[in-house]
Amino acid sequence: MQFTVIVIIKLCIVMDTSSWRLRVLLEPRGFIRVLEVILAIVAFATTGGYSGQATYSIACKPLANASQHFTTPISYPFRLSSTVITIEKPCNKTTLNYRMEGDLSPSAQWFEFVGVTAFLYALGSVVFYVVFDAVIRQTHERLVTIGDLAGTVLYAFFWLTAASAWAWGLGQVKIWSGHEKVLGSAEFKDLCQSATCRLNSGADYSPLTASVAFGFLNFFLWLCNIWFVYKESPYHQEPDKQMDPSPQPPNTM
């Protein structure tokens, strides 16, 4: 690790920084890229790092003191059907195995994939703008600008699909992990007729709701950035400034 840090420091010392363009970070194209880096991290971190649970209690009606508590864990990638909960019935001390329903991993994982790759693309773009843009544009301007435009359009579309899919997926997570679905399942139907089943505390979905909001905010940023990247491409032609023609001498003939 120390060797790697030393090598990086030496490369920075040896590297010619005279062609670096830090000023591009103050331009809309570069500034929005920096915002895209930050918001992509927030979007995929709030989804991939989520872990919550709902707590339930089952009390035997003849014996008020005989009760049992259990939790339903909810975490990324939200493959709820893989979770099996073993519960001891408080009335007759038998065991009940409950498997949750629903698999929302495709939409959650697509959202994570778009978030991580968009972060890498935006970070790479910032480094390229600052370090390499001024030099490489001299020989490959058309390739670089068109490629950047295509990548920006593509990730704007990716963020739209990812945020929409995850918004739907989050709604399904709330339904399948809700107390109506859990306590209304076949495993608890007979049990809750002879015992009192209730939800003590529900899962906190606010971080996931925020992740959906950040997903659509990322889409908005990438969509807005299309215009500024387009202006750098050869497809955008600046109108020629028309010079006032010099006055012609009057025709005496």
Structure tokens at 224: 């807005």
- pLDDT greater than 90 at residue 232: no
Confidence of residue 236 (pLDDT cuts 50, 70, 90): low
pLDDT digits (tens, 9 = 90+) for 171-217: 999 999 888 888 888 878 777 887 888 888 888 999 999 999 999 99
Other Cβ atoms within 10 Å of 183 Cβ, number: 17
Q: To the nearest 5 percent, what fractions of the chain are helix, strand and coil?
A: 60, 15, 25
Nearest to 221 by CA among 42, 36, 45, 37: 36
Portion of the chain with pLDDT greater than 70, in percent: 78
Portion of the chain with pLDDT greater than 90, in percent: 34
The confidence score (pLDDT) of residue 251 equals 54
Q: Domain limits of the chain?
A: 23-51+105-195+202-232
Give the number of C-alpha atoms closer than 13 A to the C-alpha of residue 36, restricted to the C-beta side. 32
The end-to-end CA distance of the chain, in Å, is 88
- pLDDT greater than 50 at residue 238: yes
Angle at 28 between CA 136 and CA 26, to 5 degrees: 80
Confidence of residue 18 (pLDDT cuts 50, 70, 90): low
pLDDT digits (tens, 9 = 90+) for 105-142: 999 999 999 999 999 999 998 888 888 766 766 676 67
Q: For the chain, how long is the longest CA-to-CA vector?
A: 122
pLDDT digits (tens, 9 = 90+) for 137-180: 667 667 778 888 999 999 999 999 999 999 999 999 999 988 88
212: left (phi over 0), alpha (psi -120 to 50) or beta: alpha
Comparison of pLDDT for 9 and 77, the residue scoring more = 77
CA distance 114 to 130: 24
Q: In the chain, which ranges are E strands?
A: 51-60, 67-75, 84-88, 95-99, 195-201
- pLDDT greater than 60 at residue 247: no
The confidence score (pLDDT) of residue 97 equals 84
- pLDDT greater than 60 at residue 244: no
The confidence score (pLDDT) of residue 12 equals 53
The confidence score (pLDDT) of residue 212 equals 95
Comparison of pLDDT for 51 and 249, the residue scoring more = 51
pTM of the model: 0.80
């020629």: which residue's tokens? 240
CA distance 148 to 229: 7
